């Protein structure tokens, strides 16, 4: 049976799929002559008082539900009268518009999600995918009042967005206190609040099923809280609340066969949410995060055996960027990082999360296994530097690169696009839909190394090389550690 990962706000299925199978193990046989264990039985008890009969989550809901809102996003998209005009050749032939009289009416796309007010001034957190590409965003409170909202910050890498409710006069809104997701334990009770399927605000109850889920495939920073509280399409951006009425996560996705809840939901930990909110409130339009400056590798069972470890744990340092915080702290090739600030590390995603939730300007203590000995290192938390200006360029000249936005590669760009920081060249930052660059297969993060045998060191080099139209282009790019050379039509 196949499971699909469902982003709850837009209802779009992510490409990741999970094969599920469950086997039933047999109970171990009792050794001959061993005493028979008698498990203690919990006897049913009659409630001793009226207060025990009235035990309820209602007080928590009454305190938190007013701060959970509906987020309505609207996007106006142009659709063509005939699909043939999606072909770049026909668009060029008809002047890029499909020809006179062939332009179809605009189509309005709408999405529904949830959000959480985290500041009485009307600061709202939701998922990036709920408001992605939206021209207009409206917020509806649970008391039926509606407001327009503006976007303060979009952070696709965490799938978070921060909005502000627009009001003509200053208002104070109900808000939820931010908790500490590091204090959660598997088995803790939790409430999910949102607007599933657009039926209206709904509260469901469950437990924390797992922590530090790092192989979900939703965003760049994977470190999710798993819960069995029922969450469904429309819950995206809604609140996961603990028993103290504090926000501990933003509900984001579920695994599902049918599009509905089967008890496997994922939430972004509030410690990550806090970082994004604080930077948005500080006026930043993007999130700056600490940069380690090291390439890391997951420890497999084979690697663990070769290192003499009892089990796979930590992350192995494959490379250290010169003059990076890792290099300055004394981190070396072959070191095994096993903890950050006392928090155990089991994979690169865990380390990335621990760094991403700490403030720039501070320090982080690393516990390192070096040749079987424990070593303590202190890393100064710095943002990745832009050692060369980005010099952003949108390629317009007729070539396979037309429609691509390229920038000069630096540690900051490499960290942002998940590119090897030691790579050199020009990196593709964005690709327009239906452009020649998209048709050629270029993707954000591709490093352009050579064009027709000429090295590309800066964006202006590429601009110069594409000025002369050619029938065939020989292009070499670096992608995910591989070098690809291809002949592309002009």
Residues designated catalytic = 129, 159, 236
In the three-class reduction of DSSP (H, G, I as helix; E, B as strand; rest coil), residue 275 is classed as helix
**Paired tokens of 413:** 């760009």
Q: Give the DSSP letter string of 186-233.
A: TT-EEEEEE-GGGS--EEEEEEEEEEEE----SSSS--EEEE-S---T
Alpha-carbon torsion, ordered 280, 149, 417, 451, to 10 deg: -130
CA 145, 150, 152, 155 dihedral sign is positive
Q: What is the dihedral of CA 5, 11, 15, 19, to 10 degrees?
A: 30
CB 194 within 8 A of CB 231: yes
- Beta strand segments in 341-444, E: 343-344, 363-370, 373-380, 382-383, 393-394, 404-408, 426-431
Determine the Cα–Cα distance for residues 356 and 366; give it in Å rounded to an integer.
15
> What tokens does 442 get?
């270029």
Q: With contact defined as beta carbons under 8 Å apart, do 439 and 402 qualify?
A: no
Query: Six-digit token pair at 162?
Result: 């921060």
Cα-based distances in Å from 27 to 24, 482, 485: 10, 48, 56
Among 167, 108, 163, which Cα is nearest to 131's?
Answer: 163
Could you count the other beta carbons within 10 Å of the beta carbon of residue 341? 14
SS3 call for 272: helix
Q: What is the spatial distance between Cα 479 and Cα 402, in angstroms, rounded to a whole number? A: 19
Separation between Cα atoms, residue 151 and residue 131, nearest integer Å: 9
Q: Are 162 and 176 in contact (CB under 8 A)?
A: no
DSSP code string of 82-117: SGGGGSHHHHHHTTTTTSTT-EEEEEEEEEEEEEEE
């Amino acid at each position: 049976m196949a499971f699909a990962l469902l982003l709850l706000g837009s209802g779009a299925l992510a490409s990741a799929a999970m094969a599920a199978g469950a086997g039933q193990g047999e109970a171990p046989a009792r050794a001959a002559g061993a005493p028979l264990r008698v498990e203690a039985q919990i006897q049913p008890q009659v409630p001793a008082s009226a207060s025990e009969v009235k035990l309820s989550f209602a007080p928590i809901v009454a305190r938190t539900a007013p701060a959970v809102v509906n987020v309505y996003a609207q996007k106006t998209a142009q659709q063509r009268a005939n699909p043939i005009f999606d072909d770049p050749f026909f668009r060029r032939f008809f002047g890029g518009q499909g020809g006179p009289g062939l332009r179809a009416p605009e189509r309005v796309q709408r999405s529904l999600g949830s959000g959480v007010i985290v500041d009485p001034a009307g600061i709202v957190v939701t998922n990036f995918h709920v408001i992605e590409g939206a021209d207009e965003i409206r917020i509806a409170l649970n008391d039926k009042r509606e407001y327009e909202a503006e976007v303060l910050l979009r952070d696709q890498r965490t799938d978070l967005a921060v909005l502000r409710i627009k009001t003509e006069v200053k208002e104070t809104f109900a808000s939820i206190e931010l908790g500490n997701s590091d204090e959660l334990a598997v088995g803790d009770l939790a409430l999910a609040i949102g607007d599933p399927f657009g039926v209206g605000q709904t509260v469901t109850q469950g437990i924390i099923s797992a922590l530090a889920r790092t192989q979900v495939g939703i965003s760049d920073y994977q470190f999710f809280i798993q819960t069995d509280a029922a969450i469904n399409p429309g819950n995206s951006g809604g609140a996961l609340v603990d028993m103290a009425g504090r926000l501990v996560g933003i509900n984001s996705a579920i695994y599902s066969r049918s599009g509905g809840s089967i008890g496997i939901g994922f939430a972004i930990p509030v410690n990550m949410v806090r970082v994004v909110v604080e930077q948005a409130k500080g006026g930043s339009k993007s999130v700056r995060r600490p940069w380690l400056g090291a390439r890391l590798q997951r420890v497999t069972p084979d690697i663990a055996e070769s290192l003499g470890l009892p089990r796979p744990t930590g992350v192995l340092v494959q490379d250290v960027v010169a003059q990076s915080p890792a290099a300055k702290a004394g981190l070396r090739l072959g070191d095994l990082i096993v903890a950050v600030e006392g928090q155990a590390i089991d994979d690169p995603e865990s380390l990335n999360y621990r760094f991403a939730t700490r403030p720039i300007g501070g320090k982080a203590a690393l516990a390192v296994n070096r040749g079987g000995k424990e070593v303590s290192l202190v890393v100064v938390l710095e943002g990745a530097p832009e050692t060369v200006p980005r010099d952003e360029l949108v390629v317009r000249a007729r070539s396979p690169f037309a429609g691509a936005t390229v920038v000069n590669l630096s540690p900051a760009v490499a960290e942002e696009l998940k590119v090897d920081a030691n790579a050199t060249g020009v990196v593709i930052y964005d690709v327009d839909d239906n452009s020649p660059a998209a048709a050629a297969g270029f993707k954000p993060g591709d490093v352009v190394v050579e064009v027709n045998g000429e090295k590309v060191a800066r964006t202006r080099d590429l601009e110069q090389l594409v000025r002369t139209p050619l029938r065939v282009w020989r292009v070499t790019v670096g992608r995910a550690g591989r070098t690809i050379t291809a002949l592309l039509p002009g």
